[in-house]
Chains A and B, each alone.
Chain A
Amino acid sequence: MNELLRRLLFLPEQASTFARDVDNLHYFVILTTFVMSTAVGLTAIFFFIRYRRRSETQTTPHIEPKAWMEALFVGVPLIIFTAWFFLGYREFVRQYTPPIDSMDVYVMGKKWMWKFAYPDGPNSINVLRVPAGQNVRLLMTSRDVIHSFYVPEFRVKMDVLPGRYTQLWFNATTPGRYQIFCAEYCGAGHSIMRGEVIVLKPQEYEDWYSSQKRGLADRQDGQPTALDFAPPLGNLVDQGKRVAADQGCLKCHTTDGTRHIGPTWLDLYGRREKLSDGSVVVVDEAYMTESMMEPAAKIVEGFQPVMPSFQGKMTAPETAAVVEFIKSLQSDAVRTGPSEGPAYAPIRGR
């Protein structure tokens, strides 16, 4: 039944965990629409024939609707539409609340191409490799105008805004190659800004990932251009270390746990910092980025607000690299589990 309806409605393959549920709601909505419109149509046609005009001066009775009729006219659509809404909204919340254990990928949309960067792995252009059956969370931003990351087979879409992060997650079930479209108009190349999601079996993904991590430049997908998202060689953590050195962060922040002018970076990620105004904050990407751009906003207790702002001095990729570098500085050096994304704010506001 599902396959028949899917083919009938020209729906693409169901290649992610969302696809089947969204399509079930789709069938329910389309069927109620057909039932309602045929009912209205048939009554109308019946009235055409039954009450044809017989003479030009034919008189007709004055009929007022009874209360129960009006209640019916309001009640039936109200019930149907609210039912649609609550089924839909439950799915919407599930689709826009990434689970904690999902694997992160940074996505950068730029005029007419997609760039993907794995936190401590390789980066690539227009090709996103993900393991099958694994929750993947995309943290997306754009370098210039609004784009929109859309994979029809996964039934996922989220706009990619300049100057802000937006997030999107999916769990690809069947391995294969699926096209990424840009769904928000972004200029002349809007229609050719197409990338590709390659869903690999978990084992194949691990092989590809480890080969990339060994920095085999030639096996990297696509030739990064000069304006590239990240410097050509090495992964994000190394870049973060180099950028931190260049920008002089390490003059005030140590990486081995000793206290210095600024708080130490060892085990900083995920720590509960007590601020000078008494409140406590969990250190996550947003806090780290904010502290780089706006140091005066939150001062850790016992430290002086002497840090300069790096607003405008560091480009997007460099900031992301420094954040990754800090996250990699854990005392239990070997970090086993997949990288935790930023703290997932609960739905009910911040």
Chain B
Amino acid sequence: MSHEAEAGLPPGILGHHFSSLARQNEAARLGMWLFLATEILLFAGLFTGYAVYRFQFPEAFAECSRHLELTLGTVNTVVLITSSLTVALAIHFARTNRPRAAAACLVITILFALAFLGIKAVEYTAHFHEKSLPGKYYAFEEVKIPGAAMFFSLYFLMTGLHALHVIAGMIVLGFNCWHTLHGRYSSRYYTGLELGGMYWHLVDMVWIFLYPLLYLI
């Protein structure tokens, strides 16, 4: 007895084992929050490394963080926050049955993400030129105190892993945008888009912590 017939849902939405759509949405959201918990703990490992080595080499960390491109970092933060807004707006438009506006917002978000990666690329090339690289490649003249290599190892590991997650986020939002254009989401069912949005908000939240720790203090 297929029950998608009621409620005009696109086919294949309601699983056979869920008694109602609301239950399935709640399950999807809970599952997504659990996945986000694993992402938070994944980054927690790197933050532990940051905390321990900042404790052991306070001057090196303070000195090195002054040699990072602060303006680019701040611009990146603004870019990501605004992209968070546009994703939230996309979900809002989808919930109020305006798929075209939702798709437009998603495209803007992906453009912001590309801008973020572009700025990151600029920063990385700057580091490659001034040889402020992690571990054994470290040959930065201005900062010679021990522990500096540790700072840049952490810098590249953290921002690198974050950049990977930005790319993954872009792919997820790409699928969401494709589905929105094909009318899969409406005020009745928009959970898929909401999950993509939650993932993007998490990527933004991680950067909100990365920015002050690496660039400012």
Contact = CB atoms under 8 A, between A and B. Distances in A.
| A/B contact in complex, CB under 8 angstroms | yes
Interface of A: 293-294, 296-297, 309, 311
A311 B57 CA distance: 14
9 contacts: A293-B146, A294-B145, A294-B146, A296-B59, A296-B145, A297-B59, A309-B144, A309-B145, A311-B146
A293 B60 CA distance: 13
Contacts of B146: 293-294, 311
B145 to A, nearest CB: 6
A297 B147 CA distance: 13
Nearest to B60: A294
Nearest to B145: A294
Contacts of B144: 309
Contacts of A309: 144-145
B136 to A, nearest CB: 12
Interface of B: 59, 144-146
B57 to A, nearest CB: 10
6 smallest beta-carbon distances between A and B, as pairs: A311-B146, A294-B145, A293-B146, A294-B146, A309-B144, A297-B59
A296 B146 CA distance: 12
A294 B146 CA distance: 8
Contacts of A297: 59
Contacts of A293: 146
Contacts of A296: 59, 145
Given A294-B145, A294-B146, A311-B146, 6 more contacts: A293-B146, A296-B59, A296-B145, A297-B59, A309-B144, A309-B145
A311 B144 CA distance: 10
A294 B145 CA distance: 7
B139 to A, nearest CB: 12
A22 B146 CA distance: 41
Q: A294, A297, A311 — which one has the most chain B CB atoms within 10 A of its CB?
A: A294
A309 B144 CA distance: 9
Contacts of A294: 145-146
Nearest to A308: B144
Nearest to A312: B146
A294 B56 CA distance: 13
A111 B140 CA distance: 32
Contacts of B145: 294, 296, 309
A309 B146 CA distance: 10
Nearest to B57: A294
B59 to A, nearest CB: 7
A182 to B, nearest CB: 26
A259 B69 CA distance: 44
Contacts of A311: 146
A293 B146 CA distance: 9
A297 B146 CA distance: 11
A166 B92 CA distance: 59
Contacts of B59: 296-297
B143 to A, nearest CB: 12
A279 to B, nearest CB: 15
Nearest to A309: B144
A345 B103 CA distance: 63
A293 B59 CA distance: 14
Nearest to B144: A309
A277 to B, nearest CB: 13
A183 to B, nearest CB: 25
A311 B146 CA distance: 8
B55 to A, nearest CB: 12
A296 B144 CA distance: 11
Nearest to A293: B146
A176 to B, nearest CB: 41
B62 to A, nearest CB: 13
Nearest to A311: B146
Nearest to A297: B59
A296 B57 CA distance: 13
A285 to B, nearest CB: 18
A311 B145 CA distance: 9
